[in-house]
A and B are shown apart, each in its own frame.
Chain A
Amino acid sequence: MNPRRWAFPAALAVAVIGALGVVVALLAAQVGYAGLLAPVRALADPGIRHAVGLSLGTATAAAGLAVAVAVPAAYALARHRFPGAAVVDTLLDLPVVLSPVAVGVALLLVLRSAPGRWVEDHLVRFVFEVPGIVLAQFTVATALAIRVLKAVFQGVDVRYEQVARFLGCTPWGAFRRVTLPLARRGIAAAFILAWARSVGEFGATVTLAGAVLGKTETIPVAIYLRLAGVDVTGAVALMLLLSALSLVVLAGVRFLGGGAR
């Protein structure tokens, strides 16, 4: 056999097996430590049920808000050229690359400024409160959603909108009747990615909303608190729970993205 013929495919196979091995090792270690039913048993704990409910609720709210902001923002960035567009584009990427803890600290500083204090006193309390979790997740998830949706909208040919305009649609009408339906799958995928990013968010959440037991305790915060209390079994049970939830979400992305025309 000529080694040149199988060396490359073999290298590819090794890479795939290696990457898969890491994931399998991660899951197997968790299952081996705590048992496959540990997440189910963990759900018997009302504190953990609260953490799961809080995580799902805040992540859904944050992802919903993120997509609501990202759709128009990404559409504007995808369709319009304006002076400084590249600067805006780069700035919007910052929350994605910044360490989440740094984002959390920056949010705290904003809320400690005079306008921030006014918002805290008169509108919504964020610091050490549930809305703080949503704000922290939203800040990180929006940047991600804009990035994804800009590519989605660039993928919708502007000709469709132009034709719709000449058929009588206003810019909003063309967006609603043509662009949005054509971007439907992309928007769903952006929501799921924003949701996934939010549900696992720890750094910004714990900095802004704190780790208040039974109040601002999301799943990642709960894992951290278990570890801090040397309850490794409890932490691993939660990790498995988070893994299971994440797998469901990733499968959803595949389903929505893979079936796209």
Chain B
Amino acid sequence: MIRAEGLCVRFGTFRLDGIDLRVSPGESFFVLGPSGAGKTLLLEALLGIRRPAAGRVFLGDRDVTLLPPEQRRVAYVPQDLALFPHLSVRDNLRFGLAARGRPPPDADARIAQWVDLLDLGEVADRKDVSTLSGGERQRVALARALVTEPRVLFVDEPFSSLDAALRRRLQVEFRQLQQRLGVTVIQVTHDPEEAFLMADRMAILMGGRIEQAGRPADLYNRPANLRVARFLMLQNLYSGTVEGKTPDGLLEVAVPDAAVTLRASDGDGFGPGDPVVVGIRPEEVILLKPDRPDPAPGEHPNLVAGEVAGWVDLGHYRLVRLRVGRIELDSWLNIRAAREFPMAPGQTVRFHVRPWSLCLLPPEPGSP
């Protein structure tokens, strides 16, 4: 549907370099990156608001790199939504249909359909768009864009200004709507949760470069490098060395700082003797309650004993910091489980990590 080849954009001293993207029809594609990564710049280059220094953008089979916005048949919902303040809600919705003079005869029916789909019945006849609530503004902006039946909908951080509960509800609603209608969406966000919730595929943009692209599960399980891993909140990173391979194909990785050897099923490209960085997601650490009987030998390949260094309760989960040898390891415990888990600082606990929960990354200069 939309394809970018070798896109380069300059903005002052900031550069987007060699961006390649491909988004299929009906796909929800996310550009995820920290603030200042160049996300909006990339969106503007794909849209044609900003002319790229090099590279091309295709819509379908057509090179649209130099095509003016009004001829692209794509829609744009900017971060501030840009509802026209001088027009009523209905005139905002009608705007795209009347852009080339007279609106088509079925304009009112099309608007009514989107008012219905986005549940705007109560506000569609408001005269002043500034009286709308955050969620209503959001939906009016989406309806205004979708009424024109765009080939691609470009959305720039549309939920960032809403409070948490409303944001989550609208994210789910918008994702369901997108799937039901099969709209192709390219959305930009700095919030990994939003991307994991709403994306079919996503690209991680950092410092003007795409570090990794793929399905959310792939990025979650196999971050391409330490930068991506850290951005996706994989905090537990330890340096180790591949020691060998078990008969059932698991890699044995020694982590000297913790004085343990872990078994990992993610070993593509690593062999005995290779230095690696081991990543363990806090939510993949399984704490064993102290009153449980000892597990059978070999039941948990990575059974480790540690000491409770401290914890904080964060609403629906508890973040427990464990000390193993010279390393510290964060783990998440569901708050219900935490209430039933006798815990004291300095107490010894056992935990295990499944072989497929570990991810192995190539070390980088300055990595742990």
Contact = CB atoms under 8 A, between A and B. Distances in A.
A72 interface: no
Contact of A182 (B69, B75, B85, B130): B85
Interface string A163-189: 111111111010001100110100000
B76 interface: yes
Nearest to B100: A168
A160 interface: yes
B99 A167 contact: yes
A157 interface: yes
Contacts of A4: none
Interface residues of B, number: 25
Contacts of A168: 70, 96, 99-100, 148
B96 A165 contact: no
B201 interface: no
B69 to A, nearest CB: 4
A156 to B, nearest CB: 10
Contact of B95 (A159, A164, A170, A261): A164
B78 A163 contact: yes
Given A165-B68, A165-B70, A170-B70, A178 B84 contact: yes
Q: Chain A: interface secondary structure?
A: helix
A166 B82 contact: no
Contact of B76 (A163, A177, A181, A182): A163
A162 interface: yes
Contacts of B37: none
A166 B77 CA distance: 9
Contact of B72 (A164, A166, A169, A178): A166
A163 B82 contact: yes
Interface string B58-76: 0000000000111010111
A160 B144 contact: no
A164 B76 CA distance: 9
A157 B96 contact: no
B79 to A, nearest CB: 9
A176 to B, nearest CB: 11
Q: Which of B47, B74, B76, B148 has the most CB of A within 10 A?
A: B76
B49 interface: yes
B68 A157 contact: no
Contacts of B5: none
Q: Which of A164, A165, A168, A170 has the most CB of B within 10 A?
A: A168
A166 B70 contact: yes
Contact of A169 (B70, B78, B80): B70
Given A167-B144, A177-B95, 14 more contacts: A157-B82, A162-B69, A162-B76, A164-B99, A166-B69, A166-B150, A167-B75, A168-B70, A168-B96, A169-B70, A173-B100, A178-B84, A181-B86, A184-B86
What are the 4 closest A-B residue pairs judged by CB atoms, nearest first?
A168-B99, A167-B96, A165-B69, A159-B82
